[in-house]
Structure 1
Amino acid sequence: MNDRLVGALSEDDPVVEAVLTASRALVGVAARSIAAAGGDVTLPQYRALVLMAARGPQRLIDLAEALDVNRSTATRMCDRLVAKRLVRRSRLPSDRRTIRISLTSEGRALVDGVTKKRRADLAQILAQLSQEQHVAVVAALTAFAEAADEKEVSGHADIPAL
């Protein structure tokens, strides 16, 4: 990393503006892919589904921590996802007080459908770029993800962050 640039960017820097514009485009792709898949889920709900798809069944408190929300917020979100039949709650036989959340087959199908739609939309957008631009996009986004400390879930490269 270029030490000269670390901490030297202002909010109106052209690099910040370019990333902001690209992030709006990516959020648009994400929102359209979720809407096309049906299921009537919000972006935060979809993010919870993605975490469950990547990590498997988990305690409600662990899901809340991964989402960086209060346990009560995660509980309300899961209530809505249970009502939509996208997740199920179960209690651990070893500790009946502990609630585990997991995807239903409908929840898995929704995540898979959104991922497929998103991949198709991104491929269509990226097809408009040259090979040289592809190389630059990969380098820039890889560096950005590393700087943001975004980690790919091992074995789940096909599962998007949103």
Structure 2
Amino acid sequence: MTTPGGNEALVRALLAVSRSMVALAVRNLAAMEADVTLPQYRTLVLLATAGPQRSAGLAKELDVAPSTLTRMCDRLERKLLVRRFHRDNDRRSTWLALTPAGRDLVGVVMRERQRELSALVQQAGLDASQECLDLLDRIVEASGELPDGLWWDRWEVSADPVDSVTLP
């Protein structure tokens, strides 16, 4: 595999780390008996990150067909993890938001992942340099994700009543 700029080794290492992170997420969800698939969980995480979303925008963000998102959210709504609503000024668009139970599920899974990652770092005897931490921050930013502290700030208010949430 050849990558632009000659970063083949970095790309291979990140690919391996990516597989590890997905495996960790799947194990966490299974261990918690959350009855949520990985795509459903990703939907909950996006709602925790960005707050209430138009269903069309969320489908685009997840790179799924609107009908796929509708079926996924039907299941999440039955599990009381998301709610659908319409804004007074736009009755045509369906909006999605986390319920308090959905927000709490995301928080519990994230905290468990943090605990497991902390154990992995300790087990491997790792101590990251500032250069390494900067590299990871740049990867997070380039992928469109939020730094951890800001993500938790958004998570904290992600299940507030819809009227009090600043919408995009």
Where on the TM-score scale, by shorter chain, does this alignment land: which range?
A: 0.7 to 0.9
Q: 1:102 aligns with which of 94, 97, 102?
A: 97
Quote the Cα distance in structure 1 between the aligned partners of 2:57 and 2:91: 16
Change (3 A) 1:15 1:155: closer
1:122 counterpart residue number: 117
Q: 1:57 and 2:52 equivalent?
A: yes
Give deviations 1:68-96, integer Å, cap 9, x for gaps.
22211211111111111111111222232
Q: 1:150 aligns with which of 144, 149, 152?
A: 144
Change (3 A) 1:155 1:116: closer
Quote the Cα distance in structure 1 between the aligned partners of 2:137 and 2:93: 38
Q: 1:113 and 2:95 equivalent?
A: no
Unaligned stretches of 5+ residues in structure 2? 156-168
The runs of at least 4 consecutive aligned structure 1 residues that moved more than 4 Å come to none
2:74 counterpart residue number: 79
1:7 counterpart residue number: 4
Unaligned stretches of 5+ residues in structure 1? none
Change (3 A) 1:53 1:151: closer
Give deviations 1:54-76, integer Å, cap 9, x for gaps.
21122111211221222112111
Change (3 A) 1:56 1:157: closer
The residue type equivalent to 2:4 in the other structure is G
- TM-score between the two structures when normalised by the length of structure 2: 0.76
Query: What is the CA-CA distance between 1:9 and the residue it aligns to?
Result: 4.5
Change (3 A) 1:58 1:143: closer
Quote the Cα distance in structure 2 between the aligned partners of 1:138 and 1:129: 16
RMSD: 2.6
Aligned length: 151
Q: 1:29 aligns with which of 5, 19, 24?
A: 24
Quote the Cα distance in structure 2 between the aligned partners of 1:153 and 1:144: 10
